[in-house]
Amino acid sequence: MFENLTGRLNQIFQNLRRRGKLSEADVDAVMREVRLALLEADVHYSVVKDLIFRIRERSIGHEVSQALNPAQQVIKIVHEELIATLGEADRLNLTGEKPRVVLLVGLQGSGKTTAAAKLARLLRAQGERVMLVAADPYRPAAIKQLQTLGQQVGVDVFTESGIKPPELAAHAYHHGQKGGVSVLVLDTAGRSQLDQDLMEELKAIGKRIPVSETLLVVDAMTGQEALHIAEGFRDTVTLTGLIMTKMDGDARGGAAISIRSVIGVPIKYLGVGEKVDALEPYDPGRLASRILGMGDLIGLIEKAEASYNEKTSREQAEKMLSGQFTLEVFADQLKQMRKMGPFSQILDMLPGGMGKMAQSISPQEAEQQLKLTEAIINSMTREEKRNPEILNANRRRRIAYGSGTEVQDVNRIMKQFREVQRLFKTVQKTGGRGLAGLFR
């Protein structure tokens, strides 16, 4: 989402690093470029004005003039002030009598139903006993969609036909009390636009059951309109937090930077993909680092841990270090890697230098290469995977035909595999000594 902004800021900072000492005129020139980059990214003008003022005040003062590396100090200031603008991380309030109620509100098309399932999955993984409540009787197939998602995340869905949402919410609450549920996640009805009926219904639900959190689900792709929607809900309902969805889209992303400052309501979660595991707790420091091209190694580690299978990984490591690195192990490694999510997201999390090095090919090309490699290996017999030396010309033609690729693609994958295999054989023989020679 922040690709264009990140590119612009990186270019500005690259030019800044070429200078030795920074004069006030130098700082003003940089601030003009940063201001323009933020406005083009659809950041609210009042937020840009305040952010630039704070950065400039610090950049022309003692803090930068006495620094050994003034340019690096300015970048540090931009990073810190961007974090301050994004606001502090704020977690869900899950205290008090059970079940605690999390009420999701928002307009149609914001991704509310999917966000409900994602949140339920996240809370369940944290040890909560969660129940989803289908409190949207108006949208066709809304209940069915939630039931399908509930099955995917392993969470029960409470439904009841023929009654209004406030009464349904009360029934769900009492059902949850009796069943030992610790958290209720209510997927409420949305509208195509803000209207009084929607607000009255949400107020009525709040009167029937004790609501711990009221989270507004906002589509980050709507840009400045997201701010107007948030203001409309905030002025009528007591919002406690926001979920920004579709943060993996190609919009300019300024609303995500602006919304905390303009609305005064904390962002609690970010939706970063369509899958049910694509919901992240909001962390302003990590988001600021990604916007400024510093990467998000913590997020990358968390993705790796979430997809990590200790038993499988240990077995694979033992095979590789004992010289048994076969195409079967290679295929398993690719599957583990793909569990971490789209390759483009993984590259986005790498810091500047590493990210540029990894992006010698585009994320789309890298994703395609992974799929092609998997298709080729999946077209092999078990014997061929375990003993690739038997791959003669006829076998390679058959594999290419079965995987929808060319023989040259099969040859290239086999060459890459042999290079990795050679690496592990060297590790086995030398204990790691002499590896440098492989990379000359």
DSSP 238: -
CA dihedral 152, 154, 158, 159 (to 10 degrees): 30
Strands annotated E in 224-365:
241-245, 267-271, 279-281
94 assigned to some structural domain: no
- The range of the structural domain enclosing residue 237 comes to 100-292
18 burial class (0-12, 13-18, 19+ CB within 10 angstroms)? exposed
pLDDT single digits (tens) 169-196: 999 999 999 999 999 999 998 876 777 8
**Predicted pLDDT of residue 341:** 60
227 assigned to some structural domain: yes
Could you tell me if 250 and 350 lie in one domain? Answer: no
Look at residues 341, 340, 368 and name the one whose alpha carbon lies nearest to residue 273: 341
**Predicted pLDDT of residue 324:** 62
**Predicted pLDDT of residue 142:** 87
pLDDT band at 438 (very low <50, low <70, confident <90, very high): very low
Could you tell me if 74 and 206 lie in one domain? Answer: no
Q: Find out whether the peptide bond into 70 is cis, omega within 30 degrees of 0.
A: no
Look at residues 302, 300, 243 and name the one whose alpha carbon lies nearest to residue 269: 243
Could you tell me if 268 and 336 lie in one domain? Answer: no
pLDDT band at 159 (very low <50, low <70, confident <90, very high): very high
> Domain holding 221: CATH number?
3.40.50.300
The residue among 31 and 367 whose pLDDT is bigger is 31
How are the residues of the chain apportioned to helix, strand and coil, as percentages rounded to the nearest 5?
Answer: 60, 10, 30
- Relative to beta strand 213-219, strand 100-105 is parallel
Q: CB–CB of 12/75 below 8 Å?
A: no
Pick the last residue of a domain from 292, 313, 330.
292
Pick the last residue of a domain from 272, 292, 312.
292
91 assigned to some structural domain: no
Could you tell me if 267 and 356 lie in one domain? Answer: no
Pick the last residue of a domain from 273, 292, 311.
292
Could you tell me if 169 and 281 lie in one domain? Answer: yes
26 assigned to some structural domain: yes
Please tell me the distance from the alpha carbon of residue 29 to that of residue 290, in angstroms, as a whole number: 24
Residue with tokens 């974090």: 83
Please tell me the distance from the alpha carbon of residue 332 to that of residue 337, in angstroms, as a whole number: 9
Judged by DSSP in three states, 242 sits in strand
Phi, psi of 379 (to 5 degrees): -85, 0
Could you tell me if 252 and 320 lie in one domain? Answer: no
DSSP 98: S
pLDDT single digits (tens) 55-78: 888 888 765 655 556 777 788 888
Look at residues 291, 293, 266, 270 and name the one whose alpha carbon lies nearest to residue 281: 270
Could you tell me if 241 and 357 lie in one domain? Answer: no
Helix (H) or strand (E) holding 185: strand 183-188
Could you tell me if 189 and 246 lie in one domain? Answer: yes
Q: What is the mean pLDDT of residues 158-166?
A: 90
pLDDT at 359 over 90: no
What does pTM read for this prediction? 0.66
Q: CB–CB of 166/204 below 8 Å?
A: yes
pLDDT band at 145 (very low <50, low <70, confident <90, very high): very high
Could you tell me if 342 and 275 lie in one domain? Answer: no
pLDDT band at 437 (very low <50, low <70, confident <90, very high): very low
57 assigned to some structural domain: yes
Mean pLDDT computed over every residue of the chain:
79
Please tell me the distance from the alpha carbon of residue 145 to that of residue 163, in angstroms, as a whole number: 19
93 assigned to some structural domain: no
Look at residues 217, 208, 213, 204 and name the one whose alpha carbon lies nearest to residue 184: 213
| Number of domains forming the structure of the chain | 3
Sorted by sequence, the CB contacts under 8 Å of residue 368 that are 6+ apart come out as none
> Domain holding 335: CATH number?
1.10.260.30
pLDDT single digits (tens) 301-312: 455 555 555 555
117 burial class (0-12, 13-18, 19+ CB within 10 angstroms)? buried
> Domain holding 71: CATH number?
1.20.120.140
pLDDT band at 364 (very low <50, low <70, confident <90, very high): low
The answer to whether the Cα torsion of 411, 416, 419, 425 is positive or negative is negative
Could you tell me if 127 and 226 lie in one domain? Answer: yes
pLDDT band at 251 (very low <50, low <70, confident <90, very high): low
pLDDT single digits (tens) 287-337: 887 777 665 444 544 555 555 555 555 555 555 555 566 787 777 777 666
Could you tell me if 219 and 118 lie in one domain? Answer: yes
Q: CB–CB of 154/132 below 8 Å?
A: no
Could you tell me if 168 and 242 lie in one domain? Answer: yes
224 assigned to some structural domain: yes
95 assigned to some structural domain: no
pLDDT single digits (tens) 87-109: 888 888 888 889 999 999 988 88
Q: CB–CB of 165/136 below 8 Å?
A: yes
